[in-house]
Structure 1
Amino acid sequence: MAAHRATVVGVPEGDTVHLTARRLRAALAGQVLVRGELRHPRLVGHDLAGRTVLEVASVGKHLFTRFDDGRSLHSHLRLDGSWHLYPPGAPWQRPSHQARAVLETDGRTAVGFNLHDLELLPTGEEGRLVGHLGPDLLDPAWGDAHAAEALRRFTAREASELGLVLLEQRVMAGVGNLYKTEVCFLLGLSPWTLVRDVPDPAAAIALSRELLLRNADRPQQSTTGDLARGRQTWVFERGGQRCRRCGTRIRTAEQGDGVYARIAYWCPACQPGPAPTRMRR
């Protein structure tokens, strides 16, 4: 039986983390751990064997594995982290020295690789790690109050660039560079458009949630409706290629500063508005 895994390129989108939580929950929830190793330098003294996994939940891009002793294991995939699922005793697809957590039941082994952010904390204190986040776009309880709060936080960034605000987890949690890029394209706005110039901010939030929901329960991510390789996105990672709508060459440039910088992709014809002075293509 092949391993189920959440393999990540770049900072994962909220739907990737949501799917990871769903798969881990299906494999572990209600089960007693026969092996519970934490190999992170800060946690090597902890052994979770004997604990029952109550649930696995995602909050934005954060994962919480909750146990019956009132504690939660928090993990964040960052740039290169992932959780794999294997039958017990099956060979791992990544080197063992990259494993930071091994949670094994009688039927499945969950291995967290390259989990740089790993913390064991009281479940009641999870808010310490995620309380600053905006509404989770994949929150199953999402309603009008969530949408209103996201809109309040979004419009408060009126002097900031749309692309950067879409990525800001304190505004709304779950959007990564793929969806930021595609939302801007589908709205017909340059990523450098200031928030105060966005005609319908509520539509930007609704579209972000719609795209994440569309892909939340499958490993393939598509914003075009086509799952065929090379046809899944409108402009993301298509720099230099022709726009699917108008044929103009898609441009790329860096947006953001320092560690927060990401490559932006956009069609200058379909997305009029501000543009950077330095472009890659």
Structure 2
Amino acid sequence: MPEGDTVWQSAKRLHDALAGQPLTRFDLRVPRFATADLTGRTVLDVTPRGKHLLTRFEGGLTLHSHLRMEGSWRVFGAGERWHGGPAHQIRAILGTGSRTAVGYRLPVLELLRTADEDSVVGHLGPDLLGPDWDADTALANLLADPSRAVGEALLDQRNLAGIGNVYKSELAFLARVTPWLPVGELPDDVPARLLRTAHRLLEANKNTFDRRTTAPGSPAGARLHVYGRGGLPCPRCGTAIRRAEQGDGRDERVTYWCPACQSGPTRTAPGTDRGNGHRPTD
């Protein structure tokens, strides 16, 4: 699943293409909303909330979408050939006189009243890229369960919204702790520092568009410290980076760490340390 900066970028592309324009085409290819027609209504804005996208229309309606693992929104100019997948994977088409936004493989797509947006995003913690980012509230959420592994706590969008598996692994590396260390065992200054670093990194990367980096100036030339680099040398100490799954057994998330630079418990089991192979995560 995409990181918060990726969703922010998708929202910006959609907003720049559609906002302020009346719809000339509106097509939702999901059974529940297949008959909905907002043609003629003006797109007011497209706003990211954590990893959710809210496209608002005049008349008090919002289209809520979530990309999860496979979804994407593409924007095309008039006459431009659509690309992003076969036609049967298209779930939404929002067209104006000059641009068309096409949603491919969207697993979450629903039309609701704008007044009811909290029913789909109200559970989220402070948004790292939102105008209402509140570090104190996010810190209190993070510390609420001292026994929880820091990696799982960072991924929980109810604590703070926007961190995915890439940033989870990178933040733990920068803090020199393993993602399995319980939050309550972090040194006193580390939780607040983790949140400051997370905010700084997402802000720095929200306009990079597919060139995310957490390791500027790395002598190894890598854009990331550990994520996706299983088996390669740690940029800090040269030890081989390891990879394992992290989670509660139902929702395992791939994790990368340096066994020498990062202190704390780890998870190692047969078949979990396999180099660079990984699957997308939230």
The one-letter amino acid of 1:269's match is: A
Provide the residue aligned with 1:169 in structure 2: 157
- Structure 2 gaps, min length 5: 275-282
Residue 157, structure 1, aligned to residue 145, structure 2: yes
Provide the residue aligned with 1:180 in structure 2: 168
Displacement of 1:263 after TM fit?
1.0
After superposition, residues 200-211 of structure 1 pair within 5 angstroms as: 200-211=190-201
Of residues 72-81 and 228-237 in structure 1, the stretch that sits farther from structure 2 once superposed is: 228-237
After superposition, residues 1-281 of structure 1 pair within 5 angstroms as: 11-93=1-83, 94-142=85-133, 146-199=134-187, 200-219=190-209, 220-225=211-216, 231-278=222-269, 279-281=272-274
Q: 1:154 to 1:81 in 2, by over 3 A?
A: same
- Structure 1 gaps, min length 5: 1-10
Q: 2: CA distance between counterparts of 1:228 and 1:52?
A: 49
The one-letter amino acid of 1:211's match is: L
Of residues 50-59 and 210-219 in structure 1, the stretch that sits farther from structure 2 once superposed is: 210-219
Q: 1: CA distance between counterparts of 2:219 and 2:101?
A: 30
Q: 1: CA distance between counterparts of 2:208 and 2:17?
A: 16
Provide the residue aligned with 1:7 in structure 2: none
Q: 1: CA distance between counterparts of 2:106 and 2:56?
A: 17
> What TM-score comes out, normalization by structure 2 length?
0.92
SS in 2 for 1:102: strand
Q: 1: CA distance between counterparts of 2:71 and 2:267?
A: 32
Q: 1:197 to 1:19 in 2, by over 3 A?
A: same
The one-letter amino acid of 1:57's match is: T
Displacement of 1:170 after TM fit?
0.5
SS in 1 for 2:140: helix
Displacement of 1:88 after TM fit?
2.3
The one-letter amino acid of 2:90's match is: A
Provide the residue aligned with 2:279 in structure 1: none
Provide the residue aligned with 2:278 in structure 1: none
Displacement of 1:236 after TM fit?
0.2
SS in 2 for 1:56: strand
The answer to whether the 8 A contact 1:12-1:61 is kept is yes
4+ runs deviating over 6 angstroms: 227-230
> What TM-score comes out, normalization by structure 1 length?
0.92
The one-letter amino acid of 1:280's match is: D
Query: What is the aligned-residue identity percentage?
Result: 50
Question: How many residue pairs were aligned?
Answer: 268
The answer to whether the 8 A contact 1:21-1:58 is kept is yes
**CA RMSD, 1 decimal:** 1.6
Q: 2: CA distance between counterparts of 1:225 and 1:41?
A: 46
Q: 1:38 to 1:136 in 2, by over 3 A?
A: same
Q: 1: CA distance between counterparts of 2:206 and 2:126?
A: 16
Q: 1:230 to 1:33 in 2, by over 3 A?
A: farther
